[in-house]
Structure 1
Amino acid sequence: MDPLAPNAALVIIDMQKGMHSPALGRRNNPDAESNIQRLLSAWRQSGRPVVHVRHMSRSPTSVFWPGQTGCEFQAALQPLALEHVLEKNVPDAFIHTGLERWLHTRSIRQLVIVGVITNNSVEATARSGGNLGFDVTVVSDACYTFNQSDLSGRLWPAEDVHALSLSNLAMDYATIVEAGAILTRSREAFREGV
């Protein structure tokens, strides 16, 4: 694992009120939000950049349709005034958002990605980040997903969907770690004045 750069960006994906909708079904990793909060606190303390990504759906039936409370950020993860906020309409946070340019303008090469849904927006964004040459880390216990049926109708538990998605990312696109490892790296870099 590379040392944590002084400008490593924490990218928080789609942590909106709509993610609590019962319509989304059963999820895994009930501690994801608290792990994201711990990481966000560490990033704020160290002065590293934070990017908040908000999904704005193109489907009127979505919990993320503009104007609904589902689009709002969760209370514990509200962006601060100086933190970057971007909106996306597709799973990948790099598509039509200016994220790549925003990162390049600030010479940011290292991304730490957290949020939801593991096998959708997290995976899509991490894949693009890796393909674009960024050093991408996905924090496994700061993400979650939901039960999912495959094309044959078989229901897969959220834990399996999550694990397979992270395994796909680990092959070519991202390093997969737990929040504790990132927090340790952050504290070490902070002590060393990095």
Structure 2
Amino acid sequence: MARALILIDFQLGMDSPLHGARNNPEAETNAARLLSRFRDRAAPLVHVQHLSTRRDSPLHPANGGTTIKPQVAPRDGETVFSKQTNSAFIGTPLEAHLRRLGVSGLVIAGLSTPQCISTSVRMAANLGFDTWLAHDACAAFENHARRDWHPDAPVLGAEALHMAEVSMLHGEFCRAMSTEAILEALA
């Protein structure tokens, strides 16, 4: 089975304090390990970059946060798609690109777990891709628990949000695996 690595939204703007505290500070390091393996094998890989249409977003092109982080930055010739929604598949040529390459399996990693990662994993499964989620190469932010939506809602930290989302995705939409388990499975 041809399997591609999809790295989503590992961008400088994700370090903005507007997002709040984050879990898993090792996400980029783990993603870099996956990226190295896919590069070594000359396996398909795609970088996905969010270009927000919201002027106040750290990921809006005018705000300087759209650059992909150095530890997972694309090299010359690597595929980079830009998106404006939570899904890496909507408004991008990602699906067509993967089909053209004969890819039937994916490894997904990136930021943030309950938003763009969850949406992209769900859509990948719905499109028929055998999807592995590198859960330790993803992270969530505390401000995803929008307390302003309902004042009586429980406050969930970044780790609780991350774990809840991974738990919901695993088995139904993907196989949640550690970076180490994915590297072993690819060996």
TM range (shorter): over 0.9
TM-score by length of 1: 0.90
Q: What's the offset of the Cα at 1:149?
A: 3.1
Q: What's the offset of the Cα at 1:82?
A: 2.1
Q: Helix, strand or coil: the match of 2:56?
A: coil
The answer to whether residue 79 in structure 2 is matched with residue 106 in structure 1 is no
In structure 1, what is the Cα distance between the partners aligned to 2:146 and 2:161? 10
Q: What's the offset of the Cα at 1:182?
A: 0.7
**% identity of equivalent residues:** 36
The answer for the alignment partner of 1:125 in structure 2 is 120
Q: Helix, strand or coil: the match of 1:92?
A: coil
Q: What's the offset of the Cα at 1:102?
A: 0.6
The answer for the alignment partner of 2:35 in structure 1 is 40
Q: Write out aligned runs for 1:169-184 (5 A).
A: 169-184=169-184
In structure 2, what is the Cα distance between the partners aligned to 1:8 and 1:84? 15
The answer to whether residue 13 in structure 2 is matched with residue 21 in structure 1 is no
For structure 2, list consecutive stretches of 5 or more residues without a partner in the other structure.
none
Amino acid in structure 2 at the alignment position of 1:156: L
In structure 2, what is the Cα distance between the partners aligned to 1:158 and 1:68? 24
Please say if residues 10 and 112 of structure 1, whose CA atoms lie closer than 8 Å, have aligned partners that are also in contact.
Answer: yes
In structure 2, what is the Cα distance between the partners aligned to 1:140 and 1:76? 18
Give deviations 1:149-194, integer Å, cap 9, x for gaps.
35333321111100111111114111100000011122x2xxxxxx
The answer to whether residue 130 in structure 2 is matched with residue 135 in structure 1 is yes
Please say if residues 116 and 145 of structure 1, whose CA atoms lie closer than 8 Å, have aligned partners that are also in contact.
Answer: yes
Give deviations 1:92-115, integer Å, cap 9, x for gaps.
010010111111111101100000
Bigger shift: residues 141-150 or 174-183: 141-150
Please say if residues 29 and 71 of structure 2, whose CA atoms lie closer than 8 Å, have aligned partners that are also in contact.
Answer: no
Q: Write out aligned runs for 1:1-194 (5 A).
A: 5=1, 7-147=2-142, 148-150=145-147, 151-153=149-151, 154-186=154-186, 188=187
The answer for the alignment partner of 1:192 in structure 2 is none
For structure 1, list consecutive stretches of 5 or more residues without a partner in the other structure.
189-194
In structure 2, what is the Cα distance between the partners aligned to 1:142 and 1:56? 21
Bigger shift: residues 88-97 or 170-179: 170-179
Amino acid in structure 2 at the alignment position of 1:94: F
In structure 1, what is the Cα distance between the partners aligned to 2:163 and 2:170? 11
Please say if residues 47 and 79 of structure 2, whose CA atoms lie closer than 8 Å, have aligned partners that are also in contact.
Answer: yes
In structure 2, what is the Cα distance between the partners aligned to 1:46 and 1:105? 19
Q: What's the offset of the Cα at 1:56?
A: 0.4
Alpha carbon RMSD of aligned pairs, Å? 1.1
In structure 2, what is the Cα distance between the partners aligned to 1:8 and 1:170? 18
